[in-house]
A and B are shown apart, each in its own frame.
Chain A
Amino acid sequence: MYKKFRRRVTGTQIVMWIIGFLLLGGVIYGTVHTLAAGAYPPRIWLDLIVFGLAQGSVYALVALGYTMVYGILRMINFAHGEVFMAGAFIGYFIATALNRAELLERYFIPSQLLIFIGAMATSATIAVLLERIAYRPLRRAPRLVPLITAIGASFFLQYTFRGFFGSGIKSYPEPQQLKGTITLLGITILKTQALVIVAAVIMLIALLIFVQRTKTGRAMQAVSEDKDAAALMGINVDRIIVITFVVGGALAGAAGVLFSTLFRQVFFLTGFIPGLKAFTAAVLGGIGNVAGAMLGGLFLGIAESLFPNLVLDGLGIPAPYQLKDALAFLMLVLVLIFRPTGILGERLATKKA
């Protein structure tokens, strides 16, 4: 028995376990301490979760683009953050133009639809152009090549936007209808947050239905399962790949609009940090897995909002919110070490990788 055990367990694994237990212990200790101190009423925790949900919805929408492209092409589209930024920019331009014409508040719902459609269309176009110009010629190249290309494309897009629209911060207009708060089920939340969460949930459900119930969606699943077999079954693989980029780009464009609605600032590096976070979310959920990306996004958003106050406060760390990003990327490292397949990624480990 013991021998069998010895054979299966290596020294590295034991060290990993120790690290894991120490971290887990720290998290539990910090949480218990914070809660025992009782410095924060329940309403504050609820507020933190709502903040996290709003931020997490944006992460989830962007993470879907990463995960779908990975599922089909086995590459990380690092320029996806810039597709998101393009959506935020186009949303800003349309919103500002409508605001100047005084239509933004008078025709609130049509204006919002116009902003979303414009941003989603532009982002989808940019995503498709990326695929056509930067990735398709490299489809048979070793994995690292399209990855480096994606990073190059990301810089290209960032600095193109900077060249065209300058490096200053643009402030997104805020229509009267989105100011203030509303109360839902006894919870008071900001109207912007409500809009973001509702819009994101609608899009996530629509995407799940699209992927699981439509013919094209099933073709996407087939291509991600096995490209060659799918081609033999009469699926046009190139077309499916383009559709994947269109859907991912459109979701990123919508996320860009939601992000600027929440935070009212747009500039050429807007997509950088949210892009990295969304990538983290996709890995957390299990990259290649659509439901995993949604879950990972929401989890990361809530973790970022909640954990500094919940865990780090109890550990006696001053000014915990400056460690928010460190926390997010620490989770990425831990997931890669302890569960490289992510929360929902079992199938990936056995079949695809």
Chain B
Amino acid sequence: MKKSLFTVLAVLLIAAMFMAACGGAATPAPAPAATAAPAAEAPAATAAPAAEAPVAGSDPAVCTACDDPKGCVTLAANDPLHIAWLFVVEGADASLGTDTKRGVELAQAARPTVAGHTVEVTGENEGCNAEGGQAAGTKIASDPSVVAAIGTNCSSAARAAIPLLYAAGIPMVSPSNTAPDLTAADRPAEYAFYMRTAHNDTVQGAAMAQYAYEAGFRKAATIHDGSIYADKLQQVFADKFKELGGEVVAQEATDPNETNMGPMLTRIAAAKPDFIYLPIFIAAGGQIASQAKQNPDLANVQMAGADGVFSPDFLDAAGDASLGFLWSSPDFSAFGSGYQDFLAKHQEKYGEAPLAPFHAHAYDAYNLIADGVEKSAVQCANGSTVIPRTALRDAMLGTAGLQGLTGNLTCTATGDCADPKIAVYQGMSSDRATWNPGAADDSNPKKIWP
């Protein structure tokens, strides 16, 4: 009998471990936008061998036999042009995905026809984790009608989805992945079809470190949640802060599902920081911010997050702790002239201000794809349109001087297309109804740097 008890417990244990593993997997690890690397550093990749211009009378060769290594998409005269998104539209980080999805929808409304075809947009939830990215990537890669993809929101999901879309020859533009290695010079070959309109975190982390040092903080602590996004971002921050002459007194980590932050914060308090940088996500970020205020040693320490918590949902999660909280995020005041117009349309269509920082990057991603399609698409005599997949990728990566909402977009050879301008914002109210960071004046949060 004892033996059978042991067997049952062993089975339970295995089940428990599986469930724990699944639970851990489901944890959001979104890596929202990072402003693009300075365009000047990596001037446009050599312009794509743009698609052959259709020659009147003689049909281009690609119309009869596709010679593109990744194949071609052929659209009959009335076929829609299919673009897919991979965003996190459910769960704690849904505001991030909903925000970018709305950016795509507004871009589509402004430019419904590309290369003579109506654009059709579909999407998959990427869950802000590797499993979600795998599932969404598999589904989209298996659909031969998809010409290009916009996504993912989270860098962890991007890692899983990128190889799948590469195999299918679908170029992907992310409006909010900011992890530096996605566009690093030594990225794997299968990242060749990946690019982003979001800033690179090497810019974002350094901006916050610069601000913190200039504002007089000298002893910083950082907290990450094990996601690629948070871990890299806090490291960039810590390196820059030390380089400037500050001291990093603690680098802690938690789990994105954790609720009891008190013990970890007690430990951090013992290191006596004057600044805590927590570039993580909303659920855990809210817990840390509000529980730190309950710790008498940390109540007056300045706390700061990054674009992952730049959302009205964070005001709910953190409560009063969001008053005075700092965020690094794209500098909306530096956005192109079309941005105020975009905000007006957003308000009109959805009845609220944008929920996260990456709507404009998604808008630009759509236009980057549309321009690439127009450059690479080949019109055939029978009225159909052929889009060679590699030529499309080349055309997109060859983007130079695209006037987008987020600035002047030029892609580097490794896919950094953003025009990164980072600002630091401060929370003025914990009421989510007041959330409007893009407002010309009287905004909440309020831009305080640079």
Contacts and interface: CB of A to CB of B under 8 A. Distances in A.
Contacts of B9: 283, 336, 340
B11 A144 contact: yes
B287 interface: yes
Contact of B270 (A44, A263, A329): A44
A273 B257 contact: yes
Given A276-B16, A283-B9, A167 B319 contact: no
B90 to A, nearest CB: 5
Interface stretch (A98-106, A229-237, A289-297, A315-323): A315-323
B296 to A, nearest CB: 8
Given A40-B270, A269-B23, A353-B5, A336 B254 contact: no
A263 B259 contact: yes
B253 A321 contact: yes
Interface stretch (B148-156, B172-180, B195-203, B261-269): B261-269
A168 B266 contact: no
Interface in A314-353: 318-322, 324-325, 329, 332-333, 336, 340, 349, 353
A78 B294 CA distance: 34
Secondary structure dominating the interface of A? helix
A55 B270 contact: no
Nearest to B24: A325
Interface in A232-252: none
A147 B6 CA distance: 15
A332 B1 CA distance: 21
Interface residues of B, number: 51
B331 interface: no
Interface string A135-172: 00000000110010001000000000000000111010
B382 interface: no
Given A171-B317, A324-B258, 6 more contacts: A44-B267, A167-B90, A265-B286, A265-B287, A272-B23, A322-B254
B13 A336 contact: yes
Contacts of A174: 319
A122 interface: no
A143 B13 CA distance: 15
B20 interface: yes
Contacts of B90: 167
25 contacts: A40-B267, A41-B270, A44-B270, A48-B263, A51-B262, A147-B12, A168-B92, A169-B313, A190-B294, A262-B260, A264-B290, A267-B92, A273-B257, A276-B20, A280-B16, A304-B263, A305-B263, A309-B263, A321-B252, A321-B254, A321-B263, A322-B252, A329-B16, A332-B13, A340-B6
B91 interface: yes
B105 to A, nearest CB: 20
A268 to B, nearest CB: 9
Nearest to A308: B263
Interface string B6-24: 1011111101110110011
B255 A353 contact: no
B260 A51 contact: yes
B283 A169 contact: yes
A122 B24 CA distance: 29
The listed residue with most A CB atoms (<10 A of its CB), out of B1, B226, B251, B262, is B262
Give the dominant DSSP class at B's interface.
helix
A63 interface: no
Nearest to B3: A353
Contacts of A309: 263, 266-267
**Which one of A265, A283, A306, A321 has the highest number of Cβ atoms from chain B below 10 Å of its Cβ?**
A321
A51 B266 CA distance: 10
A80 B170 CA distance: 45
B15 A151 contact: yes
A269 B22 CA distance: 12
A313 B270 CA distance: 13
Nearest to B286: A265
Contacts of A273: 20, 23, 257
Contact of B283 (A48, A52, A143, A265): A265
Contacts of A36: none
B4 interface: yes
Contacts of A349: 2, 5
Contact of B260 (A263, A267, A306): A263
Given A167-B91, A332-B16, A321 B264 contact: yes
A168 B94 contact: yes
B72 interface: no
A101 to B, nearest CB: 19
A181 B297 CA distance: 13
A181 B11 CA distance: 44
A304 B23 contact: no
Given A168-B94, A169-B317, A265 B16 contact: no
Contact of A167 (B6, B94, B255): B94
B282 interface: yes
A169 B282 contact: yes
Interface string B285-309: 0110010001010000000000000
A305 B11 contact: no
Contacts of A76: 12
A143 B8 contact: yes
A66 to B, nearest CB: 11
Nearest to A272: B23
3 interchain residue pairs of minimum CB distance: A319-B253, A322-B253, A353-B5
B291 to A, nearest CB: 8
Contacts of B270: 39-41, 44
Contacts of B24: 325
Contacts of B252: 319, 321-322
B50 interface: no
A244 B266 CA distance: 39
Nearest to B293: A179
Interface in B1-58: 1-2, 4-6, 8-13, 15-17, 19-20, 23-24, 26
